[in-house]
A and B are shown apart, each in its own frame.
Chain A
Amino acid sequence: DGGITQSPKYLFRKEGQNVTLSCEQNLNHDAMYWYRQDPGQGLRLIYYSQIVNDFQKGDIAEGYSVSREKKESFPLTVTSAQKNPTAFYLCASSTLGGHEQFFGPGTRLTVL
C-alpha cells in the first residue's frame, strides 16, 4: 500500500537532548513537509522540501533541522535550541506544485 509512515508514534526526550523524527513515503512524491500541531491551533509549517538535497524554512523553523538525502525520506531533528518542543508532529507529501497534501500518522513528542 502507498502511504506515509512516521516513527516512532510516541517519543520522550529529556531537556537538552536532540531527537530525530522519521518520515518515509512510497507515493513517489517530490515534495515533503513537516508541520507542528498544538492544541486548538492550526498546523504550522516547520520545513519543506521540493526536491532531493534542497529544503526551505517554513514559518517556525527555529530550533529544528532537516535533511533530504533521498526522495522517500525527510527526517526532522528537534534540537535542544527548540524552547517548547512538546507537540504533535506531522509529516506530509505532495506532487511537485500539487495542491493536495497527504499526511502521515504523526509523532507525539514529549519533553520531560
Chain B
Amino acid sequence: GQQLNQSPQSMFIQEGEDVSMNCTSSSIFNTWLWYKQDPGEGPVLLIALYKAGELTSNGRLTAQFGITRKDSFLNISASIPSDVGIYFCAGRFETDSWGKLQFGAGTQVVVTP
C-alpha cells in the first residue's frame, strides 16, 4: 500500500530544544494520527486530527491537520529525555469506508542532555 512521506528520518537534539516533523501525501486524508513508539513496544496514540486546519495540543505536543488535507506536522516543545523514541504519522484516506490507516516510516528522535 501507499505510504506517507515522513521527514526527517531522524533527529538528534539537545534537551530543551523544540522538535518538528511532518508528513505529506499525494492523496487527501480525512484523519491524521500521531503515534509514539518506545523500543520494543507498541505505538501509543498521541494526537488525533479530524478537520483541515485543526490544531490540537497534548501537553508539550502540538499537531496540525494541513489545510490541503495532504499533510500534517507534529511539534514537541522543550524536549526532555523521555521524548526519545520513534514518532509515526498515520492517515486515513478520504475514500476509505473502513478504518484502514497508511503509516509513515517514522522519525527517530534522540535527545541528548
* A contact residues vs B (CB 8 Å cutoff): 4, 6, 31, 33, 40-45, 48, 50, 58-59, 90, 92, 94, 97-106, 108
Contacts and interface: CB of A to CB of B under 8 A. Distances in A.
Interface stretch (B52-60, B67-75, B98-106): B98-106
A33 to B, nearest CB: 8
Interface residues of B, number: 29
A108 B40 contact: yes
B45 A102 contact: yes
Interface of B: 1, 3-4, 6, 9, 31, 33, 35, 40-45, 48, 50, 88, 90, 92, 97-106
B44 A103 contact: yes
A97 B42 contact: no
A97 B88 contact: no
B48 A42 contact: no
Contacts of B100: 45, 48
